[in-house]
Amino acid sequence: MRQEVTIRDIADLDRAAGEFLEKMGDRRIIAFFAPMGAGKTTFTTAICNRLGVKDPVCSPTFTIVNEYRTGEGRPLYHFDFYRINKTSEAIDIGIWDYFYSGDTCIIEWPENIEELLPDETVRVHFTVNPDQSRTLSWEED
Give the burial class of 107: count Cβ atoms within 10 A of its Cβ; 0-12 exposed, 13-18 middle, 19 or more buried: buried
Cα separations in angstroms, 141 against 42, 85, 91, 99, 126: 28, 32, 28, 21, 19
Cα distances (Å, whole numbers) of residue 93 to 102, 121, 138? 17, 19, 27
31-47 average pLDDT score: 96
**pLDDT tens-place string over residues 93-139:** 999 999 999 999 999 999 999 999 999 999 999 999 999 999 999 99
Chain centroid to Cα 100, Å, comes to: 16
The fold of the 2-139 domain, in CATH, is Rossmann fold (3.40.50)
Domain boundaries, the chain: 2-139
pTM summary value: 0.95
